Amino acid sequence: MEVAITKENFEGFRFGDKPLVVDFWASWCGPCRSLNPIITRLAEKYEGKIVVGKCDVEENEMLAMEFGIRNIPTIIFFSKGEMVEKVLGAQSESVLDEKFQRLLL
């Protein structure tokens, strides 16, 4: 299950005991909507191993700016508080699943 990422709770998840994947999106974004079910399935698959969050860029503009989000969807992968990968645009489930697996190595 995904968690809602906001400026207020981001640091807690970022520096938590599990890797973090954040999907930066907006409700009006077509590619974001098509990516949503993939993110949900991956969140369920990796539940307990990886925290999967969704960050609405319109509600969290400062957080999006902090990570230079200019295009959505953008997915950022964090390990031990550090950004380890940034993926722009909608991706296939298999491509994202591979990135989730690498995050656990």
Specify burial of residue 104 (Cβ count, 10 A radius: 0-12, 13-18, 19+).
Answer: exposed
**Which sequence positions are flagged as catalytic?**
29, 32
20, 32, 33, 28: which is closest to 88 by C-alpha?
A: 32
How many Cβ atoms sit within 10 Å of the Cβ of residue 83?
13
Gap between the terminal Cα atoms of the chain = 21
Report CA Rg, the chain.
12
